[in-house]
A and B are shown apart, each in its own frame.
Chain A
């Protein structure tokens, strides 16, 4: 069975500072990893994915994530946080069959001016 852990319920960062939202996973075989963002009263928006290739993947809104196979991690990063980045972030892993996603519990990112 696959699982995803997001060890921090909330991350606080000042605007302009770099941010990191942590994610670790457990899955047999090669993982397909994803980050989604959810703004208040909205659905989930896809940010980025890792399928294969370069360990550093770039996504929407200036976000990037680093895949580390030895540490089974897929941390989300951004060099300079914006107040508008404040939202709920979910890490997910894909598990066949059926292309099903298993989600972490979510991390609330608060960016303060």
Chain B
């Protein structure tokens, strides 16, 4: 499972409240990603990070921000949650093997977020 944990695993919140999801990895991987999964859409990339304090936007970044102050933690924040952000959120990592970035990604267990 590539040593990835996500917290919380489930959360119910109200519209307009801020929410922070945490992704923690234990294997010092440089690249980390946040995706959301919605029926019929597969997974869509929200933001990704290629190092401490180095982040960039993905396909569906509006309404989300991220931070990475240390290698092992990648935080996803919903500044003001909306019902459209009800989804399952997955964190992923890419491993570097023998000096080269491995193309496949490995995923955490997910966080189910419900915004009422």
Interface residues of chain A, those whose CB is within 8 Å of chain B, are: 4, 6, 32, 34, 36, 42-46, 49, 51, 90, 92, 94, 98-106
Contact = CB atoms under 8 A, between A and B. Distances in A.
A98 B41 contact: no
Contact of A99 (B31, B44, B107, B108): B31
Contact of B108 (A6, A43, A92, A104): A43
Contacts of B58: 100
Given A43-B90, A43-B109, A51-B103, A100 B40 contact: no
Main SS of the interface on chain A?
Answer: strand
B40 A46 contact: no
A100 B48 contact: yes
Interface residues of B, number: 26
A109 B14 CA distance: 35
Contact of B103 (A32, A36, A45, A90): A32
Interface string B24-64: 00000001010000001111110010100000101100000
A6 B31 CA distance: 27
A103 B31 contact: no
A46 B90 CA distance: 14
B103 A99 contact: yes
A42 B104 contact: no
Contacts of A46: 104-106
Interface string B90-115: 10101000000101111111100000
A104 to B, nearest CB: 5
